[in-house]
Amino acid sequence: MKKEKLLTWTIISILMTFIFGEAFIRYWIKAENMPRWFLVRYATYYNYYGFLVRLMAFSLLWLFFYISRKQSLAERYGFTPRKVLNEKHRKYIIITYVLCATLGLFIIYLPFSFLTLFIYVAIVTLGFLFSYFPEKEIERVQTDRKKNETNYSLHLKGDNQKQVNITNPFRGILVIGSNGGGKTVSTAEPFIEQFARKNYAGIIYDYKFPTLSDIAYLHFSAKKESNKGELQPTFFVVSFSDISKSHRFNPLNPKYLKSQIYATEFAKALVVNFNTESNQKSDFWVKSSTAFLTAIIWFLKKHHPLFCTIPHLVSIITGFSYRDTMAMLETDDECAKIIRSVLTARDERAGNQLSGVVSSLQIDFATLNDPNLIYVLSGDDFDLNINDPKYPKVICVGTDNHIAAALSPIISLIFSVALKQMNEQGKHHSFCLLDEAAQINIPRLSNVPATCRSNKLSVIFMAQNLTQIEDKYGKPEAESLLANLNYQFFTRTTVFSTAEYISRMIGETKLVTKSENQSHSSKGLNSTNNSIGKNFSEIEKRAVKPQDVLNLQAGEIVGIRAIEPSDIKVGTIIPTFKMKVIREIFKTIDGMNGEYKKDGSFQTHSKPIPSFNQPVDMEVMMNKIAEDCKKMLRIS
């Protein structure tokens, strides 16, 4: 430290000698009062050595720059500058310095000119700026600067060569950020690009259809066209707002119902999304509704597999008397046992309570009695065996915010069925990306990231804040879910409790602080001795304060990551990160994947999903379903 300070002050002294030497001769000594011999010798000196003098000055200044490469002058002398020179600023300073130095070196024959003095002053000012301000912020949150690429890994590139390596995405990914924080552009979109590049199968919940769907369509279709002959995922779309762009399928296909347990879980996926408080308590309504739906689903699976669809389930509940439905279910012993509690309530004349359950179900299911929904959920264009090694798929399930709440039971059912099929051994590597995931409640979701690592299934759970997750899933389930998502990304949030969680999660860091003590001592009547002591100490402070999270800029992320054995080999072993995401720009079949605009924001390019379905007569289709249900219920 002392040697570096001595070298710094030596360089400064020599530079000042050069600069003020010329200035002194030019301004403080009038040429006409100077002895002639001095002027002759001075001119001779500059003729022979002026170039070397200035070359030495500029070289010393460049050494000044080199010294400040790892630690700026401000940091070296105990200051913390507020300004940080980014790469753009540093390039401008270097270019200006080179121009001034080049000009100064060739103006040898003008020792007394104002131009020479101006060049010296300009160069010293540039050197001060370059050396005083640090190249980067003093990092309280350490971040890797190496990329660890594996067959399945993801990564995000940041400013100042920073990298976030998601070496094992099968350990679960959490993304939290408020609207406008940039979580979609900074995380979801680059994840989709890399999933396509690495040939993942998967399913996407596109809350603002077709935002993510168009991006996925661009990259997965480009991947398939550029790799003809290889096994590539086939792209499918499920849209309830624009059925011309939607494929058709049946989430209640009997092949998904391997046992009553599956039927119960799928029924619960519907119930908990109808009743927003059902995740926090198990009352008679929830249990009876779940049992009633389970029995109907299981009856359809056993006796009428061709009619085991959501449209037929909706028609049975909303279009017919529950007494007729109960009579049908009682003809099967298994189904009768499932609804035993409901039958007991009927037999003991608890009619009001039972009527309340059925009428609530009828009201809830009436929202699903929509022609568009019935059309989409009554076909067989694809199945939900998404990561089938022989026929991998990428499915985008789209809604918009106007109908998302009404469709949440169906969306939850779709993902419950899909995740059951995907979380099995020996299948194609896959992902499940849930944008605005707190808008739906998927039963037992926390168990999926806890068990899917060996099955090569990556779960990406995105929400606006932690409070949303607790409200939808309940505190115990939310805590279990967060614990099983090992890569956690946070963009700007407006909820203080979420910011506090991030601050605690990142933890503390050691900071060096400097303190000065001044003492006075008396040596006599008229003399005193003043002394100043400097102390340096290490203290532990939170690396990220809650206020820092609240003030993050759009595109900035902070969080933690899991460390894998391959990270240790490569040297990417820092478990924390804080950076501004820099999107990678590359070519696709239809052009570039995106571009940076003049305001610094990133504009993602996409490929609109084409219309491929022909109009159908909805009334005929709905009448056909009603007739099917009459036959099952034996109603003439």
What's the confidence (pLDDT) of residue 603? 93
Residue 488 above 60 pLDDT?
A: yes
Phi/psi at 156 (5° precision): -125, 135
Q: Could you read off the pLDDT of 571-580 as tens digits, one per residue?
A: 999 999 999 9
What's the confidence (pLDDT) of residue 120? 58
Q: Could you read off the pLDDT of 520-569 as tens digits, one per residue?
A: 555 555 555 555 555 545 556 778 889 999 999 999 999 999 999 999 99
Residue 233 above 90 pLDDT?
A: yes
The CA–CA distances, whole Å, from 171 to 188, 213, 224, 326 equal: 17, 24, 27, 45
Range name among 22-36, 45-59, 334-348, 481-495 with the lowest pLDDT average:
22-36
Whole-number Å distance between alpha carbons of 11 and 20: 14
Residue 612 above 60 pLDDT?
A: yes
Query: How large a percentage of the chain has pLDDT more than 90?
Result: 57
Whole-number Å distance between alpha carbons of 55 and 62: 10
3-state secondary structure 531-551: EEEEEEEEEEEECCCHHHHHC
What's the confidence (pLDDT) of residue 280? 47
Burial of 500 (0-12, 13-18, 19+ CB in 10 A): middle
Q: Could you read off the pLDDT of 365-381 as tens digits, one per residue?
A: 999 999 999 999 999 99
Q: Could you read off the pLDDT of 449-459 as tens digits, one per residue?
A: 999 999 999 99
What's the confidence (pLDDT) of residue 341? 80
Amino acid in position 99: L
- Indicate the pLDDT class of residue 82, thresholds 50, 70 and 90: very low
* pTM of this structure: 0.78
Whole-number Å distance between alpha carbons of 508 and 141: 9
pLDDT mean over 95-104: 59
Cβ–Cβ under 8 Å, residues 560 and 506 = yes
pLDDT mean over 322-327: 89
pLDDT mean over 141-152: 93
Q: Could you read off the pLDDT of 248-306 as tens digits, one per residue?
A: 999 999 999 999 999 999 999 999 998 665 544 457 788 889 999 999 999 999 999 99
Q: How many CB atoms lie within 10 A of CB 84?
A: 14
List, as one string, the DSSP characters of 348-400: TT-HHHHHHHHHHHHHHHHTT--HHHHHHTT--S--S-TT-TTS-EEEEEE--
Question: 432: which 2 tokens?
Answer: 């499940």
- Indicate the pLDDT class of residue 59, thresholds 50, 70 and 90: low
Residue 195, CB half-sphere, CA atoms under 13 Å: how many? Answer: 35
pLDDT mean over 201-211: 96
Q: Maximum CA pair distance of the chain?
A: 130
Identify the residue with better confidence: 24 or 224. Answer: 224
Residue 163 above 90 pLDDT?
A: yes
List, as one string, the DSSP characters of 430-471: EEEEETTGGGS--TTTTHHHHH-GGGTEEEEEEES-HHHHHH
pLDDT mean over 90-106: 58
What's the confidence (pLDDT) of residue 470? 94
- Indicate the pLDDT class of residue 96, thresholds 50, 70 and 90: low
Q: Reply yes or no: is the peptide bond before residue 35 cis, omega within 30 of 0.
A: no
What's the confidence (pLDDT) of residue 108? 47
Q: Could you read off the pLDDT of 413-437 as tens digits, one per residue?
A: 999 999 999 999 999 999 999 999 9
Q: What is the mean pLDDT of the chain?
A: 82
Highest mean pLDDT among 26-30, 119-123, 237-241, 519-523: 237-241
